[in-house]
Amino acid sequence: MNRTRFLKMVLATAIVVSVMALLLQLNYASAQSGPSTGKLEGTVADAHSHKHLAGAKVTWSRPGSQSAVQGATDALGRFSFAIPITGGVTQNTISLSVQANAYQPLKETAVVHTAGITQVKVALLAEPSSKIGTVSGTVKNARSGKQLQVYAPGHSHSSGRCRLRRRADMDRRPGVVCRNARTRR
């Protein structure tokens, strides 16, 4: 074997070994630094009627963390998050917080696994009516500044069928429309 051919083989072998070592190092580094993910899916419903709650605020965070990720339930009360699994482990425990209008908030924990789907069913209890507040104040026409009369359904009008006029109607005739169920006026 001549010397030139021998040097070419040694050089080719060195290049192949170097490329393989670089690929192994890149694969190891990405496995160590890049978080894998798990999925958290669930539903939010009324604890008594089992009706799905649309628009409920769902927040997850890591215990002891100041940052949180927030979402909302869809029309069927469903939510879904992709959760990065950190710390070089195959699962993370997260804190879950759920809030909906007129319901008691709920906090719980869930364990999310790498490449897995964790299912959570949340049942919220309705807030007692004694804790649901009232709204009071003055309603004014934005253009004219005139105060508008507002009737609360079931309180100031016997029919209980009151609604605010559309914005376009308020410019022509400010006020609130209360429809009488019998006369439709």
pLDDT tens for residues 15-49? 877 777 666 665 554 455 456 899 999 999 999 99
Q: Please indicate, yes or no, whether residues 52 and 121 belong to a single structural domain of this protein.
A: yes
Q: Please indicate, yes or no, whether residues 118 and 54 belong to a single structural domain of this protein.
A: yes
- Of 82, 98, 129, which one is at a domain's C-terminal end? 129
Greatest extent of the chain over all pairs of C-alpha atoms, in Å? 111
> Which residue has 């993370």 as its token pair?
92
Q: Please indicate, yes or no, whether residues 96 and 142 belong to a single structural domain of this protein.
A: no
Q: Please indicate, yes or no, whether residues 29 and 41 belong to a single structural domain of this protein.
A: no
Those residues with Cβ within 8 angstroms of residue 104's Cβ, 6 or more apart along the chain or in another chain: 124, 125, 126, 127
For 79, other C-beta atoms within 10 Å of its C-beta total 21
What would the two tokens of residue 101 be?
A: 């209008």
Q: Please indicate, yes or no, whether residues 158 and 107 belong to a single structural domain of this protein.
A: no
User: What domain range is 12 assigned to?
Assistant: 1-34
- Of 107, 129, 151, which one is at a domain's C-terminal end? 129
Model confidence band, residue 134 (pLDDT cutoffs 50, 70, 90): low
pLDDT at 173 over 90: no
User: Per the confidence metrics, is the pTM higher than 0.75?
Assistant: no
Domain count along the chain: 3
Q: Please indicate, yes or no, whether residues 44 and 22 belong to a single structural domain of this protein.
A: no
